[in-house]
Amino acid sequence: DAKTTQPNSMESNEEEPVHLPCNHSTISGTDYIHWYRQLPSQGPEYVIHGLTSNVNNRMASLAIAEDRKSSTLILHRATLRDAAVYYCILREGFGNEKLTFGTGTRLTIIP
Amino acid sequence: EAQVTQNPRYLITVTGKKLTVTCSQNMNHEYMSWYRQDPGLGLRQIYYSMNVEVTDKGDVPEGYKVSRKEKRNFPLILESPSPNQTSLYFCASSLAVYNEQFFGPGTRLTVL
C-alpha cells in the first residue's frame, strides 16, 4: 500500500502562511494526493486534491513536487479556525478503492 | 441540506450484545465507507461500498459486517461487540471513489 509520512505536529502564528509537508515516496503514477482536515470534535472534511499539477481552491493550495514523491499543503493566511489535524492521503490507484489515512499533522495556531 | 447522518451519536453497550450503527446520505452518492478512529492510530477504514450490493473490506474489517441494500444507507453491524471495538466511528460518502468524501458527525461507541 502506498503510504504517506507527515510530521506529528506543527505550530504557526495567526495570519501567517503555513506549509504542511507530506512525503509519499512510493506513490504510483495513477495515485491522486488528497488532503483532509479534522477540526476538534468533528468528522474530517475535504481540503484539496491533485495529481501532478499544483492546485488552488478557496481553502488552500497544493504544491506537488515534480517527481511526485512529496507534496505541500499551503494555507495562505492561517486563522484560529485552521487549528486541526491535517491528513495527507493517497488514493491507491485503479482497482483498489481503499483509502488509507495516516496519523496526520496536528496544526496549532498561535494567536 | 446535503449531509451524512449517523445514529446513534453515542452508545454504551456490553460485550456480545448485537448492535447496528446507521448511516444515511442524501446526496445520491455511490461510494460509502466506514472508518474507526483510535488515539495514535488515526482513521482506519473498516468497510467500503462502491454501489448498491457491492461491498468490500477495508483495513480492519474483523468483527464488523455491512450491507448496502439501498443507495442512501450503509449500516455498520457489530454481531458480537467486544471491548476492543470501543472507538469513534465515522461514515463517509462520495459521488465516486475518486471524489471528495463527506463525513458524518461520528458515533462514539463504548463496549463494556
Q: What digits encode the pLDDT tens for the residues A32-88?
A: 899 999 998 899 999 999 999 999 999 999 999 999 999 999 999 999 999 999 999
pLDDT of residue A30: 82
Q: Which residues on chain A are in Cβ contact (under 8 Å) with B47?
A: none
Half-sphere exposure of B70 (CA within 13 A, CB side): 10
Q: Which residues on chain B are in Cβ contact (under 8 Å) with A100?
A: 44-45, 59
| Closest to B90 in 3D by CA, of B40, B45, B35, B48 | B35
CB atoms within 10 A of CB A101: 22
Is the model more confident about A30 or about B25? Answer: B25
* Cell numbers representing residue A110 in the block: 498561535
Cα-based angle A43, A5, A16 (whole degrees, multiple of 5): 70
Cα B76 from chain centre: 5
Q: Is the pLDDT of residue A2 over 70?
A: no
A105 near A7, Cβ under 8 Å? yes
In this complex, is the C-beta atom of B63 within 8 Å of any C-beta atom belonging to chain A? no
Q: What digits encode the pLDDT tens for the residues B66-84?
A: 999 999 999 999 999 999 9
pLDDT of residue B74: 98
B8 near B106, Cβ under 8 Å? no
Is the model more confident about A45 or about A93? Answer: A45
- Closest-CA distance of chain B to residue A92, Å: 10
